[in-house]
Amino acid sequence: MSEKDQVLAILARKIHGDVAGRTIERLIKVGEATDEQLSQALGIEIGTIRRVLNELYESRLVKYRRVRDEEQGWYLYYWRLTDEYPTRVLEERRRRALEVLKRRLEFEKNNSFFYCSSCGTRFSFDEVADNMFRCLYCGSDLEALDGSLITEKLEKAIKLLENIKFE
Ligand SMILES: [Zn+2]
Q: pLDDT digit of tens for each residue in the chain (167 aa)?
A: 777 788 888 888 988 999 999 999 999 999 999 999 999 999 999 999 999 999 999 888 899 999 998 888 889 999 999 887 777 777 877 888 899 999 999 988 888 899 999 999 999 888 998 888 899 999 999 999 887 888 998 999 899 888 877 66
Whether residues 51 and 16 share a domain: the answer is yes
pLDDT confidence of residue 69? 85
CA of 115 to the centre of ligand 1 (A): 8
The alpha-helical segments, DSSP class H, found in 17-141 are: 18-30, 35-42, 46-58, 87-110, 125-129
pLDDT confidence of residue 93? 79
Whether residues 47 and 92 share a domain: the answer is no
Whether residues 40 and 97 share a domain: the answer is no
Is residue 91 a contact partner of residue 167, using CB atoms and an 8 Å limit? yes
Residues with CB under 5 A from ligand 1 (ion): 116, 118-119, 135, 137-138, 140
pLDDT confidence of residue 167? 61
Last residue of a domain, one of 51, 84, 117: 84
Whichever domain contains 62, its CATH number is 1.10.10.10
Last residue of a domain, one of 30, 65, 84: 84
pLDDT confidence of residue 87? 74
Whether residues 48 and 98 share a domain: the answer is no
CB atoms within 10 A of CB 9: 21
What does residue 68 show for φ and ψ, rounded to 5 degrees?
-85, 125
CA of 120 to the centre of ligand 1 (A): 6
What's the domain count of the chain? Answer: 2
Whether residues 116 and 155 share a domain: the answer is yes
Whether residues 80 and 93 share a domain: the answer is no
What does residue 128 show for φ and ψ, rounded to 5 degrees?
-110, -5
pLDDT confidence of residue 55? 92
Name residues whose C-beta falls within 8 Å of residue 55's C-beta, 6 or more positions apart in sequence. Answer: 16, 20
CA of 146 to the centre of ligand 1 (A): 18
In angstroms, how far is CA 88 from the centroid of its own chain?
A: 14
CA of 123 to the centre of ligand 1 (A): 10
In the chain, what is the straight-line distance between the N-terminal and C-terminal CA atoms, in Å?
24
CA of 140 to the centre of ligand 1 (A): 5
Whether residues 111 and 130 share a domain: the answer is yes
Last residue of a domain, one of 84, 107, 138: 84
Helix H or strand E segment including 80? strand 75-81
